[in-house]
Amino acid sequence: MRPTYLEVNLFQLKQNLENIRAHVSPAKVLVVLKANAYGHGVDDVAPFIAPFADYIGVAIVEEGIHLRKMGIQTPILVMGGTLPEQLPDFIEYDITLAATSINLLTAAEQLALASGKRLKIHLKIDTGMERIGVREYEADALIKKSLSCSHLEIEGIFTHFANSETIESDGTLTESKAVRSSLQLERFQEVLSIYEKLSEPYPQLRHTANSGATLIMPESYYDMVRPGVLFYGVYPASDIERTIEVKPALVWKSKVVYNKVTLPGRGVSYGSLWQAEAPTRIVTVPCGYADGYFRRMTNQARVIINGKSYPQVGRICMDQFMVNVGDDDVNIGDEVTLLGNGITAEELASWTGTNEYEVLTNISARVPRVFTGAVQ
């Protein structure tokens, strides 16, 4: 196997899910498996975790189809936008549609009528994200239309928070330039009141809580929560209250493949952005930005070798990068930790100028995944 690989602890994922479930009970838990299970490897994560999840969330219908072809029977919600011409796939593979407009809802009703098969629907309400969905002040027409769709199963209604992980110093939700989560929740509740005015029952599954809200907004749980990055053991913000204990399930490892002493004045890597001031041992690690180890981390990142932290030096290449180990005895074949075991996704994000989500989801498919902890 390639010396650069991910080690994913499936039991830790299950433990994270159990901790989340215990905290939000009696609400159900939708596990988000989009983007290759946040880089963890959906082909192995999904079959293991699906029996323990109430629902699975994906971004695009192709991700849902892939899960169905793997034999996953758990309900699947496509949370992202969908074109009308994609609707037959939802029928064929029994995948739940996020109805983001009256036109899409109408097209789904017509297809269900023509096919003789019912299609599960979750109505998507835009309470402040301005991405997809019907705005709360236009939701009356969507709800009335949904109630007239006799060939659809209107199973759920949901919204998505724009700022649930951002906290003021006093612990309250921030009032930034973007909409507050508490205001979004008020808007969502106003939409739900439409059902009361129409003397109609709510859809079975009302859900709003992403990872941040799952941690700090119990009033947002309703019938189901949707933890994404939290399920993988990463908190959505460094200063958020950690009301649920989760731990990372992923460790990114490699090995030293080359070892040399670099003399003063000899530039290391493209652009000669770093030079040693004295004879210095430089080791090469077979991982680069094509693997998701961002070029933007050049001369900022650190790794762990033989239990000690060392700085990455010189420009990160497509397939390799170099590490300054000083005078230490580091040899070819020694294990290198890039993420995990003392190096957090938050750190990689800070070195890159991004967030933890991008760090995880950009780990390339060419990095092998090794799974542990399936039987505990």
| CATH code where residue 293 lies | 2.40.37.10
Q: Quick check: is 124 catalytic?
A: no
Domain assignment of residue 211, given as a range:
10-225
169 and 42 part of one domain: yes
Q: Residue 371 falls within a domain, yes or no?
A: no
Are 42 and 185 within one domain?
yes
pLDDT tens sequence for the chain (376 residues): 899 999 999 999 999 999 999 999 999 999 999 999 999 999 999 999 999 999 999 999 999 999 999 999 999 999 999 999 999 999 999 999 999 999 999 999 999 999 999 999 999 999 999 999 999 999 999 999 999 999 999 999 999 999 987 754 445 545 554 578 999 999 999 999 999 999 999 999 999 999 999 999 999 999 999 999 999 999 999 889 999 999 999 999 999 999 999 999 899 999 999 999 999 999 999 999 999 999 999 999 999 999 999 999 999 999 999 999 999 999 999 999 999 999 999 999 999 999 999 999 999 999 999 999 876 4
Residue 362 CB: number of other CB atoms within 10 A? 17
Q: Give domain status of residue 155, yes or no.
A: yes
Q: 213 with 79, same domain? A: yes
At 161, which CATH number? 3.20.20.10
Query: Is residue 368 in a domain?
Result: no
Strand ranges in the chain using DSSP code E only, listed in sequence order: 5-9, 28-32, 55-58, 76-78, 96-99, 119-126, 134-135, 152-158, 205-209, 224-225, 250-255, 258-262, 267-268, 274-275, 280-285, 302-305, 308-313, 321-326, 335-339, 369-372
Domain co-membership, 120 together with 54: yes
Please list, in sequence order, all residues whose beta carbon lies within 8 angstroms of the beta carbon of residue 85, skipping any fewer than 6 positions away: none
Candidates 326, 336, 342; CA nearest to 293 is 336
Co-location of 210 and 299 in the same domain = no
Indicate left, alpha or beta for 29 from its phi (over 0: left) and psi (-120 to 50: alpha): beta
Residue 205 and residue 314 in one domain: no
Which tokens go with 160?
Answer: 């998505």
Task: Out of 247, 258, 260, 270, pick the active-site residue.
Answer: 270
Task: Respond yes or no: is residue 260 known to be catalytic.
Answer: no
Give the three-class secondary structure for 108: helix
Distance CA 374, CA 13 (A): 10
Judgement on whether residues 179 and 283 belong to the same structural domain of the protein: no
Per the confidence metrics, is the pTM higher than 0.85?
yes
- Is there a single domain that holds both residue 208 and residue 170? yes
Q: Are residues 332 and 185 in the same domain?
A: no
Residue in 34, 124, 145, 253 annotated catalytic? 34
Domain count, the chain: 2
29 and 64 both lie in a single domain:
yes
